[in-house]
Structure 1
Amino acid sequence: MHSTLLHVDTTQLLKGVLDLAVLAVLRDEDGYGYDILRRLRSAGLDEVGDASVYGTLRRLFQAGMLTTYVVPSESGPHRKYYALNAAGRTQLGASGKVWRGFATTMDQLIGETS
């Protein structure tokens, strides 16, 4: 019988919370794809991938939680900005409550094993 070491992969954890993270970074300021990616990384989510963020933005838009608008650029291609709408704010509030409850439970479990 052999034991296996559980490897916690940050990218796997991110998949479950990326929607919440994207909604959170759009709470106070609209943003375009690369800007949102930069904000997530500067907040400490270094492992987040470009494709994951762009896919999440498309999915949240299709789910009716984001609106978009295009801003012309003189120095390059036009930028599509994403904005949190009322449904997105409601989802952010609900998901935030679930996350805080989950994080509290995990903190308690981890504290018991330390």
Structure 2
Amino acid sequence: MDQERRGQWLRGVLDLCVLAALHRHESYGYELAQSLQAAGLGPIKGGTLYPVLLRLQRTGLVDARWRAGTSGPARKYYRLTESGARRLRQATSDWRSFATGVDTILPEVTTS
């Protein structure tokens, strides 16, 4: 995949993907980046992820708290707030509607 296009798409959906990942369970930054990569989004650098987490925290969609680590330094864990869960439900509906429109416009392409 073209990396520039991937980056553009990712900027448009990263907030939604982070909210969805946190809906499953609370997580710290590195673990969250790993789960997003495992889901197929590719590598997410800290310089991209942490500003998103901070913005979501400032808008009340995500809550964060520090926890002592069992081996190593404390980690900042993020979790979805009730407001974040409401936003996730609405954004998921919006995304599905948008993606359906895109799928309708794109021609069927077969790979050879």
TM normalised by structure 2 equals: 0.89
Give the structure with higher Rg (CA): 1
Partner of 1:3: none
Partner of 1:35: 31
Q: Secondary structure at the match of 1:37?
A: helix
Determine if contact 2:61/2:84 at 8 Å carries over to the other structure: yes
State which of 42, 59, 69 in structure 1 corresponds to 2:65.
Answer: 69
Give 1:1-114 correspondences, 5 Å limit: 9-111=5-107
For residues 71 and 64 of structure 2, what CA distance do their matches in structure 1 show?
21
Give deviations 1:39-84, integer Å, cap 9, x for gaps. Answer: 1000001143221111100000001001111110142110000000
Determine if contact 1:10/1:47 at 8 Å carries over to the other structure: no
Q: Secondary structure at the match of 2:72?
A: coil
Aligned length, in residue pairs: 108
For residues 45 and 113 of structure 1, what CA distance do their matches in structure 2 show?
22
Identity over the aligned pairs, expressed in percent?
A: 37
Which stretch of structure 1 is more off in the superposition, 78-87 or 67-76?
Answer: 67-76
TM normalised by structure 1 equals: 0.87
Q: Secondary structure at the match of 2:56?
A: helix
For residues 97 and 45 of structure 2, what CA distance do their matches in structure 1 show?
26
Identify unmatched segments of 5+ residues in structure 2.
none
